[in-house]
Amino acid sequence: MKLSQFSFDLKKSQVPLYPHSLEREFENEDGTVEKYRITRQDEARLMVLHRKSGTIDMYRKDADGKPVKGEFLQFKDLLDYFDEHDTFILNDTKVFPARLYGTKEKTDAKIEVFLLRELNAEMRLWDVLVEPARKIRIGNKLFFDDSSTMVAEVIDNTTSRGRTLRFLYESSHEEFKKNLYALGEAPLPHYILDQRPGKKADEQDLSDFQTVFAKNEGAVTAPATSLHFSREMMKRMEIKGINTAFITVHCGLGCFSPIEVGDLTKHKMDSEQVIISPEACDLVNKTKNDGHRVLAVGASVAKATESSVGTDGMLKEFDGWTNKFIFPPYDFGMADNMLVNFYHPESTMLMQTCAFGGYELVMEAYNLASKHGYMFGCFGDSLLILND
């Protein structure tokens, strides 16, 4: 398929800058403004796509099973579509404060440094992105605090924006990481950050951009769909008997990188680290063998499970990296249901969603979402795709 097939108009008003605001509003095609209120992310909207019947649900239903206009489904209604012994696969990666701001030696030019991953703990080596990259060369030193305690030297160019930094910090590794992260901020994507006052993240973002079940540190962006899960909702799942299988996918920036080729077969994804334990495999595979449903929560989970599924349709233990790029046509071998957010035009996550739900049906859902004021992006609303 072609990149242009995944293009559509998205209003700025439909890209929330915060996960939960007291009031959201959007502008209709006729120019009128409609408002609705949420207080937490599990009250965001949910749309349900039934891929076999080709139907789409937006509204809650009355006692007779008829849609009630104006009463949009909420994310917490998700549990009404699942039963005891079904299993949700969740990503327990933990986001770290990856965005830092430093100054270049001598010139005092302000430099944004985005930490990607630690390459060598003992030598304090980090793989990073820098902006503006044209000003940063091998041998330059960057200063990150007023006391010049946290200093890094550029030792290699890896890509046009990529650099390898060696931090010149004498302390234990634990103390170094603590002090480094204290200088960082939540790594919100630029489509959010650039629209914020002052183009800065705040302290609240460090918790808002983190799932309630985050555990294993290593992500530089949140698994956005999972941000909707509240502790109350997790408890409701437990009471209902819905299982949770946790895997780890350290989400990288590849999902935000623009596709620069018209032919999707020529696009190459960045790699992300994936860890799938034997315990997660046992639970997921038992669920499938017993005839119950498996839900992949988020594009990162669906990509990871497709990278580790066997020819028998069973989930396999995995500890490595994947750069799998999923776009239509594609036959999924593992999960039979998927939960995702509404994503930006021409994004790899939209393409993966279309591969799972069917191009025409997903784009119809996106058209409805645009018309009815659903929200898009990391803090946006969700789409549940069921295999019925």
Q: What is the pLDDT of residue 108?
A: 86
Alpha-carbon distances of 317 from 110, 213, 279, 284, rounded to whole Å: 44, 21, 9, 11
pLDDT digits (tens, 9 = 90+) for 57-79: 999 988 888 888 889 999 999 99
Q: What is the pLDDT of residue 35?
A: 73
pLDDT at 291 over 90: yes
Q: What is the pLDDT of residue 38?
A: 66
Is residue 128 within 8 A of residue 118, CB to CB? The reply is: no
Q: What is the pLDDT of residue 37?
A: 65
The contacts of residue 302 (CB under 8 Å, 6+ apart) are 296, 326, 332, 334, 335, 338, 340, 352, 356
Q: What is the pLDDT of residue 168?
A: 93
Closest by CA to 304, choosing from 386, 383, 343, 247, is 247
Q: What is the pLDDT of residue 258?
A: 85
- CA atoms within a 13 Å half-sphere pointing along the CA-CB vector of 304: 32
Is residue 348 within 8 A of residue 259, CB to CB? The reply is: yes
Per-residue pLDDT band for 24 (boundaries 50, 70, 90) equals low
Q: 156 in helix, strand or coil?
A: strand
pLDDT at 22 over 60: no
Per-residue pLDDT band for 299 (boundaries 50, 70, 90) equals very high
Closest by CA to 378, choosing from 341, 346, 338, is 341
pLDDT digits (tens, 9 = 90+) for 32-51: 877 766 667 899 999 999 99
Contacts 24+ apart (CB under 8 A), 201-208: 201/99, 206/97, 208/18, 208/19, 208/20
Measured at the CA of 281, the angle between CA 338 and CA 216, to 5 degrees, comes to 80
pLDDT digits (tens, 9 = 90+) for 319-355: 999 999 999 999 999 989 999 999 999 999 999 999 9
Query: What span, in angstroms and rounded, lies between the C-alpha atoms of 59 and 45?
Result: 10
Query: What span, in angstroms and rounded, lies between the C-alpha atoms of 245 and 304?
Result: 13
pLDDT digits (tens, 9 = 90+) for 216-243: 999 999 999 999 999 999 999 999 999 9
What value does the mean pLDDT take over residues 120-124?
A: 94
pLDDT higher at 20 or 388: 388
Q: What is the pLDDT of residue 304?
A: 97
Per-residue pLDDT band for 195 (boundaries 50, 70, 90) equals very high
pLDDT at 203 over 90: no
Query: What span, in angstroms and rounded, lies between the C-alpha atoms of 329 and 306?
Result: 14
pLDDT digits (tens, 9 = 90+) for 77-107: 999 999 999 999 999 999 999 999 999 988 8
Q: Mean pLDDT for the chain?
A: 92
Q: What is the pLDDT of residue 257?
A: 81
Window from 2-16, 63-77, 115-129, 240-254 with minimum mean pLDDT:
63-77
Residue 185 has phi, psi (to 5 degrees) of -135, 170
Query: What span, in angstroms and rounded, lies between the C-alpha atoms of 107 and 87?
Result: 55
pLDDT at 277 over 70: yes
- Sign of CA pseudo-dihedral 157, 253, 264, 375: negative
Query: What span, in angstroms and rounded, lies between the C-alpha atoms of 151 and 141?
Result: 7
